[in-house]
Structure formats: C-alpha cells, structure tokens
Amino acid sequence: MRRTMRRVWLWLVVVSCATPTPPPPPPKRDLRDELRRHGEWILVSPYGKLWHPNGRETGKNFAPYATGGKWVRTAEGWTFEGPWEWSEVVFRHGRWMWTQDYDWLWSHDEAEAASFVEWRTGSEFVGWSPVPPVAPRSNTPAPERRWFYVKARHFAQDEIAKYVLTGEEATRASELTEPLAASAAFSGPPVEFLVKNSGLVEEGDGGYRVPELAPPPPPEAPAVQEAPKSNVEVEVAKPPEKPPKKTKGKKKKK
C-alpha cells in the first residue's frame, strides 16, 4: 500500500512539473493615458469624461468613420481603418456622439465591435451613422445623430470623405434607403449589394476586390462664344468725289 501511494505521489509530482505554467494575462490597457497624448478628455454631464481628438492631427471638419480612412471588409463586418495610431481604439472600442460645443466626442465601451454604427442601404446608396454612448439617466435627451451617405460604388474606396454626399444628393439618399438590420455574422452592406452597384468586384477564387476608379476627365475648355451680330445697319460714308481736273487751254498764235 505504501509503495502504491508513493508511486501515485511521484506521478503527480512529475505531471505537475511537466505541465507548463500558463502565462500571466496581459496588462490592462490604459486607454485614457494612450489617448491623452492625441487629444483631451472633457467632462460632459451625464456621460462622464469623453475624449476629443486633437485638431492638429485630424485636420478641420473631422468626422468619425469618414475622415482620412476607408471601410475594410473583415470576418466580423465592415471596419474603418484610419491613418492614426489610435484609429483601432476609437473605431472598435467605443462610441461617438456629436455636440454643439465640441463637435465629435468619443466614449469608451467595454464591448468590441467591427464598428459602432447603424447602416442604411437602398437604390444605389449606402449610409451610416455613429452610434452614441448610452446615457446613465433615462431622462437624458438623445444626442443629435449625423448620417453619412455615399454611392455604393464609392463605399470601399480610399479617402471615403471625398465621396460623402451633401445637400440635395444626401437628402435623396436618405429617402431612398432603409435601415439595415445587423447580422450576427456580418455587419454592414452585403457584398452582393456592393457587387451589384460596382462597389466590389468578385474574383474567381471567391474573394472580392475594390475596383479602381478611372480618373475624372479634365474639365473642358469653355467654348468661345461669338459676339452676337447687330441688326442695326451702319451707313458707311462715301468718300468725297475728286474735283475735276483743270484742262490748260492752248495759246493762240499771233
């Protein structure tokens, strides 16, 4: 019995030594400290501290999910790739809302998503709107929503802000699109919709690529318009008549 117990004890010791110790969990990221170098944290009631990006980095008229980047298709859905080192944090780990005083502000969210936006599709258009943070108090007015619309053939192009519709075109896109229900497998406009509207090109291997747009034609030179002919007849003065030549008479012989 003692020998059996000793063998079991030795086996447990060997097994415990052979099993590798799991690595410690990675340290929790301090997003507030990371983003402080690229903007400022502003206390906004009742949401708490919200982050405002530095305008020297983003440029004027910054808008999340529109300025400086492009939409990229992933297994989780369409995600927005921006040119800044903080792009992955603010476009996949938080929500944006628009304010009168500070324009766009970002709030951290514990969840992770391909993008925190709502979608609209229809006709030849795609629309999206950043989802605002949830207010801790139920009586808080809902933040103003901002929608961005592009033609489907421009949706996956670089520098998407160049293709965002404005004015009457944006109003027409809003009228012709409907909300797109979020799918458990994919978030954003379906590839079939984009292929139909030339926003993506289907490859032979089952993949897709973004079509290259032909450069816009150079502006035509304005046509030279001839001056309109006047109906008023101008009477040209006749040149004066030459006086008759004097003829010399012959002298008479005496």
Asked if the structure places residue 133 within a domain, the reply is yes
Identify the domain containing residue 147 by its residue range: 29-209
Asked if the structure places residue 11 within a domain, the reply is no
Asked if the structure places residue 15 within a domain, the reply is no
Q: Which residues of the chain have pLDDT under 70?
A: 1-30, 183-185, 216-217, 219-254
- CA 193, 196, 201, 202 dihedral sign is positive
Give the global pTM: 0.74
In this prediction, residue 242 carries a pLDDT of: 66
Asked if the structure places residue 63 within a domain, the reply is yes
**Cα 232–Cα 233–Cα 234 angle in degrees, nearest 5:** 110
Asked if the structure places residue 120 within a domain, the reply is yes
Asked if the structure places residue 3 within a domain, the reply is no
Beta bridge partners of 50: 42
Pair 172, 127: CB distance under 8 Å = no
Number of domains in the chain: 1
In this prediction, residue 15 carries a pLDDT of: 46
Asked if the structure places residue 234 within a domain, the reply is no
| pLDDT tens-digit map of 103-161 | 999 999 988 999 999 999 999 999 999 999 998 888 888 899 999 999 999 999 999 99
Asked if the structure places residue 220 within a domain, the reply is no
Specify the residue for token string 């010399």: 248
Count each helix (H run) and each strand (E run) in the chain, helices first.
6, 12
